[in-house]
């Protein structure tokens, strides 16, 4: 058997480590080591929500897992919003990483916030929802269909598990000392059917840069829920990229 690979899977907005269950089970069954941290203020850590939680806190969550578990040669995967924390982890500890995978994820540059990448009407709508639901602290989760999840059982699973997203994660700019990826090998996976509009600019950017491996996956945004087997095949292929 080949040497087991180490995967750290970082979820997107409103989700938690729970969303990787199918992918994590398959990777573990193949003999690999898998961590699925939940970022502060979300999922089973929703009780820690507070003003001022940012992408930086999410990156610290992931860095602390890598350091506490003494992980090396990590294949670090970030889904959607998780692209921000993943980029910050690479900025801080590239020596611990083997490969970065951006799964239909946002790519932010130094000084950008997630709100700065969205249309002003979308930003205004999310801020309005946050104010109405939590006094401006968190953005309530959208319907599962927004993430391309249409199977009734999967949609109900998401409805039960999705939690409000701290607003400051979207509002506070990211601070990077290096370009996204910081020299680590990178793969971008675009989920194309249907297209999740907020990540379209990242698709286009990754596709146009030769130092990024670009793959299209014909399923909805929450690929780890909708088409876990196809996603696992791609992730295991990343272990062979030279």
| pLDDT tens-digit map of 36-64 | 999 999 999 999 999 999 999 999 999 99
The average pLDDT across 164-174 equals 98
Q: Looking at the predicted structure, is the pLDDT value of residue 127 above 80?
A: yes
User: What domains, with CATH codes, occur in the chain?
Assistant: 6-238 (3.40.50.1820)
How far apart, in whole angstroms, are the C-alpha atoms of residue 56 and residue 178? Answer: 15
pLDDT > 70: what percent of the chain?
A: 99
Mean pLDDT of the chain: 96
Number of Cβ within 10 Å of residue 153's Cβ equals: 8
In the chain, % of residues over pLDDT 90: 96
What average pLDDT score do residues 92-121 get?
A: 97
Residue-wise pLDDT tens digits, 86-98: 999 999 999 999 9
Q: Is the pLDDT of residue 242 over 70?
A: no
Annotated catalytic residues are 80
């Amino acid at each position: 058997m080949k040497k087991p690979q180490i995967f750290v899977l970082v979820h997107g907005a409103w989700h938690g480590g729970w969303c990787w269950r199918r992918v994590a089970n398959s990777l573990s069954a193949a003999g690999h080591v898998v961590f699925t941290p939940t970022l502060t203020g979300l999922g089973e850590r929703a009780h820690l929500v507070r003003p001022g939680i940012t992408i930086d806190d999410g990156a610290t969550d992931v860095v602390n897992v890598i350091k506490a578990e003494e992980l090396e040669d990590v294949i670090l995967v970030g889904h959607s919003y998780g692209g921000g924390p993943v980029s910050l982890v690479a900025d801080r500890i590239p020596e611990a990483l083997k490969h970065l995978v951006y799964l239909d994820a946002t790519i932010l540059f130094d000084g950008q916030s997630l709100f700065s990448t969205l249309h002003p009407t979308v930003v205004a709508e999310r801020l309005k929802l946050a104010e109405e639901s939590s006094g401006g602290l968190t953005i309530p989760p959208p319907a599962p269909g927004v993430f391309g999840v249409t199977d009734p059982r999967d949609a109900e699973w998401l409805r039960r598990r999705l939690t409000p997203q701290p607003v400051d994660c979207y509002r506070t700019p990211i601070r990077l000392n290096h370009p996204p990826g910081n020299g680590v090998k990178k793969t971008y996976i675009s989920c194309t059917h249907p297209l999740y509009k907020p990540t379209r600019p990242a698709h286009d950017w990754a596709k146009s840069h030769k130092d990024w491996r670009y793959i299209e996956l014909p399923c909805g945004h929450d690929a780890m829920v909708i088409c876990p087997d196809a996603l696992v095949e791609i992730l295991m292929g990343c272990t062979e990229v030279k």
